[in-house]
């Protein structure tokens, strides 16, 4: 079914609550594990129905943040979903404590039960009002960023539409765009401080009510980290500081030399060379058509997937002034349909959507064939491997978007961008640990903490008088920090695994793709570290692995 034809109806949570209670009573009365599993399949259908409508609302709200109907519906779900989540946990508790658990584990897997245990530690009826408030605060933050109206030579731009000017080949235009961006964030700085202060205090209070000293351990549970913890992540960041930061700084040095600059400023560092960044050729429609050809030729599985996406109009990628910023992939379970949201703006980022978000969507499409819903409940550190690796697997088709002249530059730029991301991703993660370990920090103390981390992870950084950013506020434009706490390190873990695939595919593309398909189809049937081992990848938590990746990548340059 085409996305536009998918019917929306507000979820009646009172009715859902009654249906859940009936399922819970049936579970208690069941005579064996087989009977309980049949009841659990009814829960799948109920939850799919709820999630489909909630997701339809969320998508349509982000497609037009000025749509009053879907704004009100989103507000409704911000209030109702936390309570529904608690009810689902109550249901899962019956499965977790079932006398027939052995049979159920054989059906849905050990990972599912570990995730249930995590979920039970993560919520309680007592914190539902706080979770509702948290949802409202993050929605307010997203709306605040989407409200940007930046004057550009008589045209009004939002943050997404300003991006091409931030990466323009003309240094003066880049600088002007950076100043416009800086001025916008400066104009809302007090509100940004207020919102984040409320979020930190809210999340800390949730944690304390659940028996934690700080939000950090609760945040780990919310991110469903079921086979590694803080020690492993701290060791990863330590290795990045030791071996990756110098490597990334050498990439920034290359850019400075290519640009012919004596000093690399913030407004220059995302530009590949004097001709600017490679730009895709053709209209947005032609980029989609090129994507269809790419996936048709990549494999039979990707052809089937992308044909389905196009036929059912499951990509909304055209930039509009009232759309939310950013991009994402989500999933509509009733239709077994992934959905991709993006803001094409004429930059190479448009191609990144066709590779990154389609990597997520491809895995979601494959996972839809698995009747065990828990297997689709993937940790984000695994989910991002699917997307970031797809960016590399599609390299042979980059010419469809850029033409021969700029394909080589884009390939190099894409690899460089991935390399220089790693320290930044670790910086975002370490910053959040500092904040949640010290929830009473003032806004100014948080900004000073960020500035200190910038010196450690990006020592070359120079904002050259951009007031908002020089104050230590850059993190306030990173919406994950507000909306998805402790998420960002998952990108780093996945990027490092994707580099392993990059090195592997350059040596043996057929075997690397075979491994990638296996990883996608395994979904969350095993723990993250087990999935890597099954796929033939090394975990970046292990000492020496990050150094090995650096050495392999240096060989490409």
> pLDDT averaged over consecutive 10-residue blocks of the chain (557 residues)?
97 97 97 97 97 98 94 94 91 96 95 94 92 93 91 91 89 95 96 97 98 97 95 97 97 94 91 91 91 97 97 93 86 97 87 94 94 91 96 96 89 96 98 98 98 97 95 95 96 97 96 97 94 97 96 88
Q: What is the pLDDT of residue 146?
A: 87
Which of 127, 116, 105 is CA-nearest to residue 204? 127
Q: How far apart, in whole angstroms, are the C-alpha atoms of residue 69 and residue 57?
A: 10
Q: How far apart, in whole angstroms, are the C-alpha atoms of residue 70 and residue 54?
A: 11
Q: What is the pLDDT of residue 439?
A: 97
Name the one residue in this structure whose structure tokens are 């884009």.
410
Q: How far apart, in whole angstroms, are the C-alpha atoms of residue 520 and residue 513?
A: 10
Q: How far apart, in whole angstroms, are the C-alpha atoms of residue 389 and residue 355?
A: 9
What is the topology classification, in CATH, of domain 137-147+188-311+346-557? Answer: 1.10.1370
CA angle 363-369-375, nearest 5°? 70
Q: What is the pLDDT of residue 519?
A: 97
Q: How far apart, in whole angstroms, are the C-alpha atoms of residue 142 and residue 195?
A: 11
* Tally of CA atoms within 13 A in the half-sphere of 300 that contains its CB: 1
Contacts of 56 (CB under 8 A, 6+ apart): 6, 8, 332
Q: How far apart, in whole angstroms, are the C-alpha atoms of residue 536 and residue 387?
A: 18
Contact by Cβ (8 Å): 226, 409: no
Q: What is the pLDDT of residue 349?
A: 85
Q: Is 31 exposed, middle or buried (0-12, 13-18, 19+ CB in 10 A)?
A: exposed
Q: How far apart, in whole angstroms, are the C-alpha atoms of residue 78 and residue 543?
A: 42
For the full predicted model, state whether its pTM sits above 0.85: yes
């Amino acid at each position: 079914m085409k996305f536009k034809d998918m019917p929306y109806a507000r979820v009646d949570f009172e009715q859902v609550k009654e249906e859940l209670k009936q399922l819970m009573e049936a579970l208690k009365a069941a005579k064996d594990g087989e009977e309980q599993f049949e009841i659990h399949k009814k829960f799948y259908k109920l939850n799919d129905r709820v999630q489909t409508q909630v997701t339809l609302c969320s998508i349509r709200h982000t497609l037009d943040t000025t749509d009053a109907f879907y704004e009100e519906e989103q507000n409704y779900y911000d209030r109702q979903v936390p309570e529904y989540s608690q009810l689902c946990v109550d249901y899962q508790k019956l499965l977790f404590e079932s006398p027939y658990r052995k049979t159920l584990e054989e059906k849905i897997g050990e990972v599912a039960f570990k995730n249930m245990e995590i979920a039970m530690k993560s919520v309680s009826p007592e914190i539902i009002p706080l979770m509702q408030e948290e949802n409202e605060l993050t929605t307010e933050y997203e709306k605040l960023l989407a409200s940007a109206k930046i004057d550009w030579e008589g045209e009004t731009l939002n943050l997404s539409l300003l991006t091409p000017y931030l990466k323009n080949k003309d240094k003066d235009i880049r600088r002007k765009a950076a100043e416009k961006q800086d001025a916008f964030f400066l104009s809302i700085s007090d509100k940004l401080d207020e919102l984040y202060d409320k979020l930190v205090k809210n999340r800390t209070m949730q944690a304390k009510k659940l028996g934690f000293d700080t939000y950090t351990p609760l945040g780990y549970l919310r991110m469903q980290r079921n086979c590694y913890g803080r020690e492993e992540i701290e060791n990863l960041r330590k290795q990045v500081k030791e071996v990756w930061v110098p490597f990334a700084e050498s990439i920034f040095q290359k850019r400075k030399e290519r640009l012919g600059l004596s000093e690399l400023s913030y407004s220059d560092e995302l530009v590949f060379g004097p001709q600017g960044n490679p730009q895709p050729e053709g209209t947005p429609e032609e980029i989609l058509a090129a994507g269809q050809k790419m996936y048709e030729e990549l494999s039979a599985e990707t052809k089937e997937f992308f044909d389905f996406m196009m036929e059912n109009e499951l990509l909304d990628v055209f930039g509009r002034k009232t759309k939310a910023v950013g991009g994402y992939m989500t999933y509509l379970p009733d239709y077994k349909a992934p959905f991709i949201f993006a803001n094409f703006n004429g930059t190479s980022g448009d191609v990144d959507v066709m590779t990154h978000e389609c990597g997520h969507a491809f895995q979601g499409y494959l996972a839809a064939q698995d009747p065990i819903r828990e297997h689709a409940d993937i940790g984000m550190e695994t989910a991002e491997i699917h997307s970031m690796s797809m960016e590399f697997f599609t390299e042979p088709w980059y010419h469809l978007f850029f033409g021969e002249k700029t394909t080589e530059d884009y390939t190099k730029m894409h690899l460089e961008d991935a390399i220089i991301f790693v320290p930044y991703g670790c910086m975002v993660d370490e910053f959040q640990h500092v904040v949640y370990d010290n929830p009473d920090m003032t806004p100014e103390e948080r900004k000073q903490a960020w500035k200190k981390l910038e010196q450690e992870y990006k020592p070359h950084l120079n904002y050259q008088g951009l007031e908002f950013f020089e104050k230590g506020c850059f993190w306030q434009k990173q919406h994950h920090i507000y909306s998805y706490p402790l998420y960002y390190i998952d990108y780093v873990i996945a990027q490092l695994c994707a580099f392993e695939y990059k090195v592997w595919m350059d040596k043996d593309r057929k075997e690397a793709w075979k491994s990638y398909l296996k990883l996608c189809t395994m979904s969350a049937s095993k723990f993250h570290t087990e999935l890597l081992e099954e796929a033939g990848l090394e975990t970046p938590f292990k000492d020496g692995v990050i150094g090995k990746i650096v050495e392999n990548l240096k060989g490409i340059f």
